[in-house]
Amino acid sequence: MRQGKRFELVVEGPVTPAVLAQARKAAEQLLANPVIEDVVSVTDADAAGA
Amino acid sequence: MKIGVVTFPGTLDDRDAARAVVRGGGEAVALWHADADLRGVDAVVLPGGFSYGDYLRAGAIASIAPVMGPVVEAARAGMPVLGICNGFQVLCEAGLLPGALVRNDVRTFVCRDQRLRVEDASTAWTSAFETGQEIVVPLKNGEGGYNADERTLDELEGEGRVVFRYLGGNPNGSRRDIAGVRDASGRVVGLMPHPEHATEPGYGPTEHGGGASGDGTDGLGFFTSVLTALASA
């Protein structure tokens, strides 16, 4: 088992679906390497009450 | 022949790599991570170290550094590129070589004189060797475990693209004992062990009889091979 990583991104303005989609793209193309890592979750932390 | 050696912030082995290029008979040209072009070099070495402090993942940020744009473009057009250790990680992150390197299964940094078998002496960086030849060069890494999915590993084996395999024990949990691989053309090669540290008598490996050369200079063949490849191109 290997531990995972958590990235908190701060954006200017509201977290729209387009912004979330951009964050997911960043997660899949840069923040994670799909050969060895999986993107588990990309969510709006404020909306989730976190 | 001009061989470029790239320095990223955090690179450690650029000086040794440049020295190895010269000892092999080439002209070493220093390239900087922020360079927009390759200064007319004929081949490129991406040396070892901890580019950008290994932030995000080893080699991840270096793979999108400005200099990597022209390196990737040139590699796809047939320019010989050698990635050593962190340079291997950069080549994998840049998509020039398949797979990825993960933390050693032993959970510790490993530093030792490493026996390797040259599985493919047809590449631009290994023609000075014989296929099946055993060599000894230093190995020093914390994230050297070569990983890829089974299909990719089968493809690499089937196409003869495993260039080096560990002998005398797998030091880091690499799948199928793989120490280095090449691209389809055989001009882009990456490996975790360090041939540039084994090019000068008295400063290379002393274990295992100093390797095939007997004096710890088994790594020199990488740097003479590329000159042969360039001369015949």
Report residue B233's pLDDT band, with 50, 70 and 90 as the boundaries. Answer: confident
3-state helix, strand, coil in chain B (%, to 5): 30, 25, 45
pLDDT in tens, B123-156: 999 999 999 999 999 999 999 999 999 999 999 9
Report residue B162's pLDDT band, with 50, 70 and 90 as the boundaries. Answer: very high
Report residue B196's pLDDT band, with 50, 70 and 90 as the boundaries. Answer: very high
What is chain B's mean pLDDT, rounded? Answer: 97
> Which percentage of chain B shows pLDDT scores above 70?
100
pLDDT in tens, B100-123: 999 999 999 999 999 999 999 999
Check CB contact under 8 Å for A33 and B149.
no
pLDDT in tens, B62-92: 999 999 999 999 999 999 999 999 999 999 9
The number of beta carbons lying within 10 Å of the beta carbon of residue B102 is 21
Whether residue A50 has pLDDT greater than 60: no
ipTM for this model: 0.84
The number of beta carbons lying within 10 Å of the beta carbon of residue A50 is 8
Given CB atoms, is A33 within the 8 Å cutoff of chain B? Answer: yes
Active-site annotation holds for B85: yes
Average pLDDT over residues B187-204: 97
Q: Which of B52, B55, B57 to mutate to test the interface with A (most CBs of A within 10 A)?
A: B57
B156-164 contacts, C-beta under 8 A, 24 or more apart: B156/B98, B156/B181, B159/B184, B160/B119, B160/B120, B161/B120, B162/B119, B162/B120, B163/B118, B163/B119, B163/B120, B163/B123, B163/B126, B163/B189, B163/B191, B164/B116, B164/B117, B164/B118, B164/B119, B164/B191, B164/B193
Given CB atoms, is A26 within the 8 Å cutoff of chain B? Answer: no
Report residue B60's pLDDT band, with 50, 70 and 90 as the boundaries. Answer: very high
Average pLDDT over residues B35-47: 97
Contact B97, B197 (CB under 8 A): no
Report residue A49's pLDDT band, with 50, 70 and 90 as the boundaries. Answer: low
Q: Which of B64, B102, B151, B178 to mutate to test the interface with A (most CBs of A within 10 A)?
A: B102
Given CB atoms, is A35 within the 8 Å cutoff of chain B? Answer: yes
Check CB contact under 8 Å for A2 and B100.
no
Superfamily designation of domain B2-231: Class I glutamine amidotransferase (GATase) domain (3.40.50.880)
Domain chopping of chain B, boundaries: 2-231
Which residues in chain A are closer than 8 Å to B56, comparing Cβ atoms? 30-31
Q: What is the pLDDT of residue A1?
A: 60
